[in-house]
Structure 1
Amino acid sequence: MKKVAIIIAGLIAFLLIALITVPYLFKDQILARIDREIASSVNAKVYYDYDNVSISLFRRFPDVSATIREFGISGNPPFENDTLMHINSLQVDVNLRSVLFGDYPELTGVHLLGGSMYISVLEDGRANYDIAVETEEEEVAEPSEFKLGIDLIEVKDLNLIYDDRQMGFFMALANFNIEGKGDFTLDVYDLLADARTDIVRVSFDGVNYLENKRFLADAHLNVDLDQMRFTFMDGNFTLNEFDFDLGGFLALSGDDVNMDLSFGGKDNSFRSILSLVPGIYTESFSQLTTSGNMTFEGFVRGTYNETTTPSFDMSLKVDEGYFQYPDLPRPVSNVNIVMHVANTTDDINNTRIEVPAFNMNFGENPISGKLLVENLRTYDMDAQLRGNLKLEEITSIFPMEGTVLRGAFSINATAQGRYDSATNTIPRIDASMSLIDGYIQNEEYPTAIENLDLQANVANTSGNMNDLIINISNFGFDLEGENIRGNLQVNDLNRLNWDGAVHGVVDLGKLMTIFPMENVIMEGRIRADIDTKGNYTDVEAERYERLETVGDIEIMDLYYTDLDLPQGIRIRNAAAEFTSKVINLTKFDARVGQSPITATGNLSNYIAYMFGDNQNLKGTLTVASTRFDINEWLSNDPAAAEDTTQLAIIELPRNIDFSMNVSANEVLYDNLVFSNARGNLNLRDGILSFRDVATSTMGGQVTFSGTYDAQDPALPKFDMTFDVSTVSIQEAFRSLNTVQVFAPVAQHLTGNFSTKFALNGNLGPNMMPVLSSLDGKGLVRVVQAAFQDSRLLQGITSITRLSETNSITLKDLALSTTIEDGRLKVSPFNIRLWDYATTIEGSTGFDGSINYLLNMQVPAGRFGAQLNQVIAGISGTEAAGTTVIPVALNVGGTYQNPNVSLAGGEKSIENLLAGALKSRIGAERGRAEDQIKQVQENAIEQFRAKEDSIRTELRQKAEVAKDSVRREADRAVEEAKRKAATEAKNILRRGFGGVVPAPAKPDTTVRGN
């Protein structure tokens, strides 16, 4: 017996050791299989590390479990900056026998624990989840070697964002958890699913449908993959505390979604429906005292596609609802609501909405009403809303700590009839609203808004648009001894007659303290005395003389900043006088960012601009500044003033027509300083035109005219002409990237230059010229300059053996240049290199390449002592040293690393000299000159053939570069559209403590693409 026990114990020990060691013995084999599957099926960067992989037989015995920590997938262009998913821990269960002995591994379970997923679909349909390896159409894609035997899928604490801009659908979920059980290997199986999540936001086509809700589901579904039919067998669903069930089926057939679903509330209490009301379902909701009954039920039946919608019927009834916050004396009671929404057709416009009655009491203040809308086409309606409310009771009903309210608010409104713009028909309306002796005070700012009054009436007894009257007979309030009062009457919706006025002073800083706005700072005082009367018919006919608008407005010590305007604007003092035709700006003393500005002028067509479509605001302004820093306005990043890599495109408004005389003592742009800048600017149709703008910069004078066209914000254009006089060559090289690229020789030139140059092209996302797009031409003059310490000169003296210094003085140079497709071409010009007559021509490309030909006339005796011996040996005397030798040099490579060689196929300067001297001995003078000319022409012919080839190659590079800039610009534009997703990620971080999708991590292994 003892031996048997020992044998059993030994077998158990052996099995335990085997269970522990087998995963490690076969770890490489398992990981190799995973690697192979990823490489064959995923076209994206998949990152994980062997050190973060563990394998165990104990977790899911007899299956082997592989756990991968910090695993993820980052996208392909244009999603290379997105992480499709980042998973904290992913456990995959695989049948061990199938791995070790079978041909196909069998996947039995998936467990995802923590992480984030960001799914994005662009407007053109490209999706970041489209990462499957593509196969040739004619080839049949080989199926993956994995088999599915999954019986459990588990996801915990996943944050999910789905951003589909093609459909206009957006969804953000936090802390998503689901556990699904079933035989997923079958085509038809039952799925038991238990899910819970926090709904951050769900919106469609710009309408927000759900926000900040908690959702739970415990469902039993029958899944038929052959028919793509999903049947709800049983289930319990909860939204906040609202429980409902869902039965029926949903089937996918091509582009159609067929459905027959019924639903209804399970907890028939008022508390459950109350939990869906925004602002009420908070941390204190569990302490609310509630009572009352609720019933909710409905169905959706039919087909959904692009042309039809299912029929539906939904009804809600609340009886004697009641709730009261703890520690507050008054409840909301007598809540009774009956609502029925139905559509028996497949046209959504036939939807009927009926609320035959609703009422509730805010403390002792009753509110009641009804609503009937027959359809969503002509909106035949019968609506009523009545109520009286003492504002002081609001603070005794809802938690509003530190806030004091007083005043009497009342509303009495009815509307009956239909809306039909074709027949100028609207419902008959009789509505009045008033607020008397309003008072608002909070502990943040103890001074109160007092005497807050509002009297408004809307009336139409005939149902004709022309008979509508909107009358705000009185509006105003007092704040610390200052008051503002106004009134407005509007009638006849066709003519849109108005008669209104506003008089008084308002302190914006005090209002912001009482009614704070997130991420906004605003302070200052505005005084207004304006009376206006007119109609929109006269506006359309441009009969502005009939519009009686007079008055003035003054702004004092105004400051404003928000997230989109971090630089801030401060208006010390501004005053304007209003007439019906024009606003005269008599004073404007401000600081925009760090730049002081003063202005005077006038604005016209402002009424048409405010009320009309496609109307331009016109103006004539005189603007002056002592120092204007453009850099801080070229980016949303305040650091942009110090970091020019943050410059960004400025898109100009198209509905502004301004003519401006501008002067500035100093203007900063990029790393340039412009002094005494003066000129005329015109803004029209989103194009900014410059005329005779003159300034001092880089040690000289610059005058320019031209346009900046950002109508296509993805790739704006400029077209400028420059008149430059005695500008420092060194300053130009340091300040202008175009000079650095196209005239790198300026790095070693000291002196001044002048030019008249025309240049046009595109600007990149960093507001800098796209070099590959540049075209231009002009004449560059250099009166005198020194050229020294250049590798180019060293290369020339090295190849020619000339005993010259590494310095040249240049005088009276006139260079005719053109730029085409990003390559600067210099027409042939004559110069003396050292003391040798030289003709130079060639080009410099935007890619830094250079290609120049130098034809030099060098007396034979100037080639140095060693070469003079060669000359004497050929001619028999050193007198031949006065013979002029044509030396043609090709200069290639880049300016920093020039490649200087003899043209015409000559191998060495010795061979060149020997050939040239032998051809001249005994020859007549004229014949010798013809030979020199022939040598030069041959070199030029070979050079220009090469130049054509280089230009063709660079043109192709230019097109590639332009496409790259366009893609980058499109990416920047697309990035600007991601604010909703970014905001949702921030909400996940702040509101639910979730993990924001991690940035794309480097691929630390060799797997994936």
Structure 2
Amino acid sequence: MINTDKKKKSIGKRILKWVSIFVLLLIIATISIPFLFKDKIVVMVTNTINNNINATVTFKDADLSLFKNFPSLSLTVNDLAVANKAPFVGDTLFNAKELSLALNITELFKKSNETLAIKSITSKEGDINIIFDKNGNGNFDIAIPTKETTTTSGDSTFSLNIDSYELQDINFNYLDRSTNTKMSLDSIYHTGEGNFAKEVFNLDTETTGYVSLDLDKTNYLSKVKVSLDAIIAIDLKNSKYTFKENTGYINQLPLEFDGFVQLVDENQLYDLKFKTPTSSFKNALALLPKQYAGNLESIKTEGNFEVNGVVKGTFSDKTIPAFDIEIISKNALFKYADLPKSVTNINIDTKIVNKTGLIKDTYVAVNQFNFKIDEDTFAANGNFKNITTNPYINITAKGTINLANIGKVYPAPLEQELEGILNANISTNFDMNSIDKGTYQNIKNSGNLTLSNFKYDGKDVANTFYIDKTSINFNTNTIKLNEFNAKTGSSDLAINGNLDNFYGFIFKDEVLKGNFALNSNNLKVADFITEGETSEKTATTSTLKIPAFLDVTLTANAKKVVYDNLNLTNVSGQLIIHDEMVDLKNLKSDIFGGNIGLNGNVSTKETTSSFKMDLNLSELNISDSFTSLDMLKAIAPIAKTIEGKINSTITVSGNLNNDMTPNLNTITGDLLGQLLNTKINTSNSKVLSALSNNVSFLDVDKLNLDKIKGNFSFKDGKVTVKPIPLKYNDINIEIGGTHGFDQSMNYNLVFDVPVKYLGSDVTNLIAKLTAKDASSIKSIPVNGTLTGSFNSPKFSSNIKDATANLVKDLIEKQKNQLIDQGKDKLKDLIGMNTKKDSTSTETAKDKVTDKVKDVLGGLFGKKKKDTVKKN
């Protein structure tokens, strides 16, 4: 017995040992198999691709794992792309960040040229692009034709014996270049399960995505959320797909499908019906995107809303399935629980129909659409036909809407409530060919639209915007704005005129053309400039953007316009708005006791706004204009000390700041000005004070600037002043040079100083010359410089050297003159000893130096008393 137990224990230990070894081997195999077979699997995938499709396939790398879908083997291909060859060179059929294939582990032991049996496929983050060119060729037709009777080792294919597949965040794009039709299904999440090994099986699917549709540049659907949970019976032999149990949603509107789609030859046969499973009016609100529909659970409704449709026929190169879609609602109402008012008397009768299977015969008929809020009623009807050839539109609308009630009946996502009464009684019918060709006489419009007591306050306006009344008449050729009276901030506007291209603007993205007259008693530019976004990194900015869609001419008259710190009166002229620019023509205004004329333009087309102007200033007060206008202040800062008038022409261009004022660091141009009836106030300028303190013979306050002309050019923050001639009594002065917008300066001054201002010592020396020599010495040139800055000027001159040279010259002339008259007389005149020794020579030199010092005593520096009698 003991031996038996020992044997049993021994066998148990052996079994445990072998199990442990097996588990260890299994773990080792699980880890090592991917490394051992990875290259082989990649070769098999590459061979399969190259032998079966006519496209360029690339991928970054491939991974093989037993852990991801254990016990199946998982092959993951990263950054996969399938690029088309001719005739679709440059197009991509498919790309994915990750494509995973699940295989049985037995597939590892197949030869590299044998078929791989795929159990499941998962694709993540990619795009599927189906494109038809103008000849009807499809980019998806990339399979290499094979003969069923021929079998070669190189013609291996995947065996799609899959039981599931999954798409995660995939975008599907359809483009038909022959009809310019675009359809997209974005952000697709789709799963499907079924036994694809059988010819007849059920495919259980779940799908969500967002549908967009454009037909010939016109958008009909934009990111409409759709979903479908469906069991589809698939008959692979007959290529027939039948909807069984299913529920689909358009936004939140539920729809049930019944019928099938079948591939017959190269065409598709449709026989489908769909309907809303219930008739509650909640279905109508469910058509809206969720963020706009509000809480459907809390809404009270009465009446019905039903959608029923039939799609039956063949989709081919020439035909589409015929369809009849009906949307009906009778005597319905709805009221949100947390809102005070309800919408009643809702009636809808709409049909979307195609009876022939030809796209051009599709039409939409809105036979009835009306509702009531309080006592206000609104009704509209119309129809659309010839959608793909020459769309024809016929619409009639009549009724009243109190805009304040919109937020009281419907949870509109408005940050600010609207106010105002809209009255409409309009009808229009037109065809798109007439709009394309500009034959607007074929458009038939009639009626009028008025809006009164309108109020809007939102982030896109600087101040609350009020429209007292606006009235629009619809005529055959034009839309006439009879009146538009509005206020915002302290500004008022009155506009009337015509719109000439309204339908081109609405339907063809063309510019909006028109001619208007604008009148205002007070127009403040800041009232129309909105505050930009503020962040921790950027300060609050203001922007004024001229709309790109406007091509209008405004003839403006305003009694007062406030721009920055400027008050302009009696403003008139033309503003031509086009291409994100405003051209100013013959714009005139009274300002600073005179008037300004402007011609030029302002552009907001680029990231940085710019301007280019020609200005004509007539009799402006100098001190006011050159103090208030930063640009003029920077060009001629000295002008603030001058009282009087100025006539000037200015050519200037540069960039604008966000508040539409000139960026002084960028302006370039020229200024030519003439002063009138001027007077100088030295106390207002440190520069003029420096001249007065350093030039004894100059009284700056008495400078005569009347009719003086100045020529300034400026660029890159630097102003160049061409030499300006000035006159002070009988002293000629010329000043020119440069200064910067940073107030730095570097000016040159040239004084033509009459000798009489140089003192009695100089004049006595001149008096002793002959008449001929004395007449040749009337004045001397003195050069001075002004450097530093306008707030801290530095003055220097060569007056000492110039005067010393003059005295030496005079003494030399006298010496030459006296030599001619006799040596003794010369000795007496200059007080020299008759003995020519070293001592007498030094005494003569000292006397010359003393005379020079006496002359310089009262010129540039401290003023010398009684030297010059002031005038």
TM normalised by structure 1 equals 0.54
**For residue 796 of structure 2, what is the aligned residue in structure 1?**
901
Distance of 1:299 and 1:336 partners within structure 2: 14
- Is the 1:700–1:727 contact (alpha carbons within 8 Å) kept by the matching residues of 2? yes
Distance of 1:590 and 1:552 partners within structure 2: 19
- 1:475 deviates by 0.7
Question: Structure 1 residue 389 and structure 2 residue 278: aligned?
Answer: yes
- Is the 1:246–1:261 contact (alpha carbons within 8 Å) kept by the matching residues of 2? no
Question: Structure 1 residue 525 and structure 2 residue 402: aligned?
Answer: no
Go from structure 1 to structure 2 and tell me whether the alpha carbon gap of 1:491 and 1:886 turns closer, same or farther (over 3 Å shift): same
Deviations 1:642-673 (A, max 9, x none): xxx96644332333221211111211111111
**For residue 850 of structure 1, what is the aligned residue in structure 2?**
745
Distance of 1:807 and 1:425 partners within structure 2: 96
Question: Structure 1 residue 249 and structure 2 residue 137: aligned?
Answer: no
- Is the 1:871–1:914 contact (alpha carbons within 8 Å) kept by the matching residues of 2? no
Question: Structure 1 residue 537 and structure 2 residue 452: aligned?
Answer: no
- For 1:156-305, list aligned pairs within 5 A: 234=67, 248-251=75-78, 259-261=98-100, 297-299=164-166
Of residues 788, 799, 803, the one that matches 1:913 is: 803
Question: Structure 1 residue 771 and structure 2 residue 648: aligned?
Answer: no
Distance of 2:392 and 2:726 partners within structure 1: 77
**For residue 505 of structure 2, what is the aligned residue in structure 1?**
609
Distance of 1:674 and 1:553 partners within structure 2: 35
Of residues 256, 263, 276, the one that matches 1:368 is: 256
- 1:383 deviates by 5.6
Deviations 1:40-59 (A, max 9, x none): xxxxxxxxxxxxxxxxxxxx
Go from structure 1 to structure 2 and tell me whether the alpha carbon gap of 1:300 and 1:831 turns closer, same or farther (over 3 Å shift): same
Distance of 2:690 and 2:233 partners within structure 1: 91
- Is the 1:390–1:406 contact (alpha carbons within 8 Å) kept by the matching residues of 2? no
* Letter of the structure 1 residue corresponding to residue 801 of structure 2: N
* Letter of the structure 2 residue corresponding to residue 736 of structure 1: L
Go from structure 1 to structure 2 and tell me whether the alpha carbon gap of 1:425 and 1:697 turns closer, same or farther (over 3 Å shift): farther
- Is the 1:231–1:250 contact (alpha carbons within 8 Å) kept by the matching residues of 2? no
Question: Structure 1 residue 740 and structure 2 residue 630: aligned?
Answer: no
Gaps of 5+ in 2: 1-33, 36-59, 83-94, 104-161, 174-187, 194-202, 207-227, 235-239, 287-293, 815-871
Distance of 1:541 and 1:261 partners within structure 2: 54
Deviations 1:165-207 (A, max 9, x none): xxxxxxxxxxxxxxxxxxxxxxx99xxxxxxxxxxxxxxxxxx
Question: What SS does the corresponding residue of 1:842 show, helix, strand or coil?
Answer: strand
- 1:430 deviates by 1.6
**For residue 702 of structure 1, what is the aligned residue in structure 2?**
596
Question: What SS does the corresponding residue of 1:564 show, helix, strand or coil?
Answer: coil
Distance of 2:735 and 2:314 partners within structure 1: 83
Distance of 2:563 and 2:667 partners within structure 1: 20
Distance of 1:541 and 1:705 partners within structure 2: 35
Distance of 1:373 and 1:918 partners within structure 2: 120
- Is the 1:496–1:536 contact (alpha carbons within 8 Å) kept by the matching residues of 2? yes
- Is the 1:552–1:578 contact (alpha carbons within 8 Å) kept by the matching residues of 2? yes
Of residues 642, 649, 653, the one that matches 1:749 is: 642
* Letter of the structure 2 residue corresponding to residue 584 of structure 1: K
Go from structure 1 to structure 2 and tell me whether the alpha carbon gap of 1:312 and 1:247 turns closer, same or farther (over 3 Å shift): farther
Deviations 1:381-420 (A, max 9, x none): 7764312534377899996576321120111123457889
Distance of 2:583 and 2:635 partners within structure 1: 26
Distance of 1:472 and 1:647 partners within structure 2: 47
**For residue 301 of structure 2, what is the aligned residue in structure 1?**
405
- For 1:457-468, list aligned pairs within 5 A: 457-468=351-362
Distance of 1:692 and 1:871 partners within structure 2: 60
Distance of 1:440 and 1:465 partners within structure 2: 36
- Is the 1:622–1:662 contact (alpha carbons within 8 Å) kept by the matching residues of 2? yes
- 1:628 deviates by 1.2
Go from structure 1 to structure 2 and tell me whether the alpha carbon gap of 1:883 and 1:443 turns closer, same or farther (over 3 Å shift): same
Question: What SS does the corresponding residue of 1:747 show, helix, strand or coil?
Answer: helix
- Is the 1:260–1:299 contact (alpha carbons within 8 Å) kept by the matching residues of 2? no
Distance of 1:399 and 1:254 partners within structure 2: 43
* Letter of the structure 2 residue corresponding to residue 913 of structure 1: T
- Is the 1:569–1:590 contact (alpha carbons within 8 Å) kept by the matching residues of 2? yes
Question: What SS does the corresponding residue of 2:304 show, helix, strand or coil?
Answer: strand
Of residues 608, 625, 645, the one that matches 1:715 is: 608
- Is the 1:635–1:646 contact (alpha carbons within 8 Å) kept by the matching residues of 2? no
RMSD: 4.8
Question: What SS does the corresponding residue of 1:631 show, helix, strand or coil?
Answer: helix
Go from structure 1 to structure 2 and tell me whether the alpha carbon gap of 1:852 and 1:539 turns closer, same or farther (over 3 Å shift): same
Question: Structure 1 residue 631 and structure 2 residue 526: aligned?
Answer: yes
- For 1:812-851, list aligned pairs within 5 A: 812-833=707-728, 836-851=731-746
**For residue 327 of structure 2, what is the aligned residue in structure 1?**
433
Question: What SS does the corresponding residue of 2:588 show, helix, strand or coil?
Answer: strand
Go from structure 1 to structure 2 and tell me whether the alpha carbon gap of 1:314 and 1:440 turns closer, same or farther (over 3 Å shift): closer
- 1:782 deviates by 0.8
**For residue 4 of structure 1, what is the aligned residue in structure 2?**
none
- 1:623 deviates by 1.0
* Letter of the structure 2 residue corresponding to residue 508 of structure 1: L
Deviations 1:819-869 (A, max 9, x none): 345543332221125763111222333454333221112234546xxxx48
**For residue 586 of structure 1, what is the aligned residue in structure 2?**
482
Of residues 428, 453, 462, the one that matches 1:557 is: 453
Question: Structure 1 residue 691 and structure 2 residue 585: aligned?
Answer: yes
- 1:718 deviates by 1.9
Deviations 1:123-168 (A, max 9, x none): xxxxxxxxxxxxxxxxxxxxxxxxxxxxxxxxxxxxxxxxxxxxxx
- Aligned residue pair count: 618
- 1:526 deviates by 0.7
Distance of 2:241 and 2:628 partners within structure 1: 68
**For residue 164 of structure 1, what is the aligned residue in structure 2?**
none
- Is the 2:523–2:560 contact (alpha carbons within 8 Å) kept by the matching residues of 1? yes
Distance of 2:452 and 2:680 partners within structure 1: 57
Go from structure 1 to structure 2 and tell me whether the alpha carbon gap of 1:259 and 1:555 turns closer, same or farther (over 3 Å shift): closer
Go from structure 1 to structure 2 and tell me whether the alpha carbon gap of 1:259 and 1:528 turns closer, same or farther (over 3 Å shift): closer
- 1:799 deviates by 4.7
**For residue 381 of structure 2, what is the aligned residue in structure 1?**
487
* Letter of the structure 1 residue corresponding to residue 723 of structure 2: P
**For residue 5 of structure 2, what is the aligned residue in structure 1?**
none
Distance of 1:920 and 1:251 partners within structure 2: 100
Deviations 1:659-697 (A, max 9, x none): 211111211111111112111111223321111111112
Distance of 2:737 and 2:669 partners within structure 1: 16
Identity value in percent: 19
**For residue 448 of structure 1, what is the aligned residue in structure 2?**
342
Q: Which has the higher contact order (CA 8 A, sep 6+)?
A: 1
Of residues 503, 517, 525, the one that matches 1:622 is: 517
Question: Structure 1 residue 475 and structure 2 residue 369: aligned?
Answer: yes
- 1:258 deviates by 7.6
**For residue 568 of structure 1, what is the aligned residue in structure 2?**
464
Question: What SS does the corresponding residue of 1:567 show, helix, strand or coil?
Answer: coil
Go from structure 1 to structure 2 and tell me whether the alpha carbon gap of 1:401 and 1:637 turns closer, same or farther (over 3 Å shift): same
